[in-house]
A and B are shown apart, each in its own frame.
Chain A
Amino acid sequence: MLKKTGLITYLQVTPLTVVLVLFFVIPVALVVVVSFFRYKMLVGLVPDFTFQNYADLLSNPTTWSLYVSTIKFTLIVLLVTFVLGFWISYFLVFHVRNLLTAIGLFLLCTVPFWTSTIIRMISWRPVLGREGLINSGLQGAGIVDQPFDWLLFSDFSVVVAYVHLFTLFMIVPIFNSMARIDKSLLEAAVDAGATRWGVVWNVVLPLSKTGIALGALFVVTLVMGDFFVVTVMSGGLSGSATSGIFNDLQFLNYPRAAASAVILLIVVLVIAASIFRLVDVRKELVR
């Protein structure tokens, strides 16, 4: 008979530990190790322990400008998806009285996810292009003479694509925490003289904090980790921190790509840590 406290407990956590070690700890450790290797033209990886890759990256102005651009996109997309996600959830939870209708509308939000990311991105081209829906519409209506050039292959189109792709990741967690708010709390606030805005600011917003934090985490990691959307939608004019990694990989410069990845990982972890500092998600989840 096995002792309950000892071996069995370890056995119970073994499967998850094995999965995490195999598919998470080892790969990340490998990346960290490789980031200290040396890269030799035509040879490739040379085992070493050098900070050269990091020094190269941090002294390179391109790295910095890529990070500035990525963080700019992250902040803009975070703001837009938050505003959209918050009000869509608010509408679904507090304004749609019929639960079935709410669920139906919620499912409607997921319809774009029935197609692949690429198709959803490409489909913006006929809308935003020089000869696209918006430009020809505006011109046809006689509102503008010249088509807008900044609609496609610009920062604008990148943000549009990000917002389109990632708003649902904001809606779901916010919807989830809003749905758990006792409706009588809103009435109690109205009873105490709160205006509609007062209710949102004093009751709904603080009680949706967990969802907002989780949604923000999704959006931050998705935007920071993206190079594809930004490349396609900006027509190659903008890059992201990840595009640097991609470029290095194409040149088989694995050590520098690994160092880039480690830096990105650290940046994202710092952002995640600060989000969790603002909102004690674990405490809120058990509420």
Chain B
Amino acid sequence: MAIPKSAERSEVGAHQGSGEIRLVDVTKKFGGSYAVQNINLTIPHGSYCCLLGPSGCGKTTILRMIAGHETPSSGEIFIGDQMMIGKRPVERGTAMMFQSYALFPHLTVLDNVAFYLKMRGVGKEERRQKAEEMLQRVQLDHLKDRMPGQLSGGQQQRVALARSLITNPKVLLLEEPLSALDEFLRLKMRGELKSLQNELGITFVHVTHTQPEAIALADMVVVMDTGRIDQADTANVIFDRPKTPYVARFMGGQNVLTGTVESLSGGLARLRNADGATFEAATGALEAKAGSPMSIAVRRDRIKLRKRLADQVLSAVNEISGIVDSTEYQGSYIKVTVDLGGGVFVVNVSDSEYFVDAVVRGDLVTASWTTADVHTLSKVDMGAIDDPYLDATQ
């Protein structure tokens, strides 16, 4: 939606100060169980932050605590330099867009958007005029007299967005904003959210369980696992250099391999896995000891795949062998799933390479990569938990 560059931002309720969010040692318990535990996170002012994780990982709880709809059991939340615990949502300078949009079904679109102004005691004429301006910005002024129930999902979302933005927040909190939309609208709204954030320059915190959404939008991706933050970094780092096997699996695009350290030399570790294949990996900051297990990740698109004859024996390092289980055409690349016997290995082969010597299901293949493309994980892989989100294949 074409929103004029911060031009006439409504001066009503202008929130001064920075939209930096700082969570210090935040814990939230529901009954006896922890929703989130000892969260430390700083979201810089004006950034687009995505909280990413499977359902039940605590990402929505964090959002609701920032918004003031939940109170942490312990810990502190700062926005700018002000401590927010105990403050009402409206005093925090945050605005929340709910997953269900939470539009008031008994009010017209215009009155929905004007609700905040009504609560501030702005006169009827003035607030209607301001709300109309806001609706123009989301290009819905022609529907101002409709009831929310008469709008499509996409339109309802724009109304919800207008209703949030009229509070002139320094932090916009989005609870799975794109999950209720169909694929086409989702991509469209995704672009619009990003450009909106660029134009407003305020902090966006966006909760999602969809990896492509997070990567496409976020300046900062926070990957969560059952109440804890596994990794918080730029989208590029999260995707390319995941810290843990969990993040690597959750983000997809990586193969996680585990082996026992056989020898160490010059910052390189040589691993041998259960099948006898050997890999090399830079130990980096990790303290590796000979004889202890270590996990590495290799990006799917950095792997070479070639057919193998039945009597050929594995000899080289950074090679693994298996049988092609399936091939999936993805347009610019072909996703080849290789059955290793004890697990699966996914190789994304570019279409130009693939069609030179196409592999089919049942073919014996060897996958190989260079040590430079290996990324060492800080934790040892305990195996993918039985979770539909994990090992998501894109």
Q: Do chains A and B stick together as partners?
A: yes
- Mark A residues whose CB is within 8 Å of B: 182, 184-185, 187-195, 198, 202-203, 206-207, 287
- 17 chain-A/chain-B pairs, Cβ below 8 angstroms: A184-B99, A184-B102, A185-B104, A188-B103, A188-B104, A188-B163, A189-B115, A190-B69, A191-B67, A192-B116, A193-B116, A193-B119, A194-B115, A202-B104, A202-B118, A203-B104, A287-B149
User: Contacts A182-B102, A184-B102, A185-B104; is A191 near B96 (CB within 8 Å)?
Assistant: yes
Q: How far is the CA of A194 from the CA of B116 in the complex (A)?
A: 8
Of A185, A192, A202, A287, which is within 8 A of B90 by CB?
A192
Contacts of A203 in B (CB 8 A): 104
Contacts of B203 in A (CB 8 A): none
Contacts of B100 in A (CB 8 A): 182, 184
- Mark B residues whose CB is within 8 Å of A: 67, 69, 88-90, 94-96, 98-100, 102-106, 115-116, 118-120, 149, 163, 167
User: Known pairs A184-B102, A190-B90, A191-B69. 12 more at Cβ < 8 A?
Assistant: A182-B100, A185-B104, A187-B69, A188-B98, A188-B103, A190-B69, A192-B90, A192-B116, A195-B119, A202-B104, A202-B115, A206-B106
Q: How far is the CA of A182 from the CA of B102 in the complex (A)?
A: 7
Contacts of B119 in A (CB 8 A): 189, 192-195, 198, 202
CB-based nearest A residue for B119: A193
Q: How far is the CA of A187 from the CA of B68 in the complex (A)?
A: 10
Contacts of B67 in A (CB 8 A): 191
User: Contacts A192-B90, A198-B119; is A187 near B102 (CB within 8 Å)?
Assistant: yes
Are A184's CB and B98's CB within 8 A?
Answer: yes
Contacts of A192 in B (CB 8 A): 90, 115-116, 119, 163, 167
Contacts of A187 in B (CB 8 A): 69, 96, 98, 102
CB-based nearest B residue for A203: B104
Contacts of B106 in A (CB 8 A): 206-207
Are B105's CB and A207's CB within 8 A?
Answer: yes
Contacts of A198 in B (CB 8 A): 119
A-B CB proximity, top 9 nearest = A193-B90, A188-B102, A192-B116, A184-B102, A193-B119, A206-B106, A184-B98, A191-B89, A194-B119
Contacts of A191 in B (CB 8 A): 67, 69, 89-90, 94-96, 167
Q: How far is the CA of A193 from the CA of B67 in the complex (A)?
A: 12
Q: How far is the CA of A187 from the CA of B89 in the complex (A)?
A: 9
Minimum distance in angstroms from B213 CB to a CB of chain A: 21
Are A193's CB and B102's CB within 8 A?
Answer: no
Q: How far is the CA of A30 from the CA of B167 in the complex (A)?
A: 64
Contacts of B167 in A (CB 8 A): 191-193
Q: How far is the CA of A153 from the CA of B167 in the complex (A)?
A: 58
CB-based nearest A residue for B106: A206
CB-based nearest B residue for A194: B119
Contacts of B118 in A (CB 8 A): 202
Q: How far is the CA of A192 from the CA of B114 in the complex (A)?
A: 10
CB-based nearest B residue for A209: B106
Minimum distance in angstroms from A184 CB to a CB of chain B: 4
Contacts of A195 in B (CB 8 A): 119
Q: How far is the CA of A18 from the CA of B106 in the complex (A)?
A: 39
Are A185's CB and B102's CB within 8 A?
Answer: yes
Q: How far is the CA of A110 from the CA of B100 in the complex (A)?
A: 34
Minimum distance in angstroms from B112 CB to a CB of chain A: 9
Are B115's CB and A190's CB within 8 A?
Answer: no
Minimum distance in angstroms from A190 CB to a CB of chain B: 6
Q: How far is the CA of A190 from the CA of B104 in the complex (A)?
A: 12
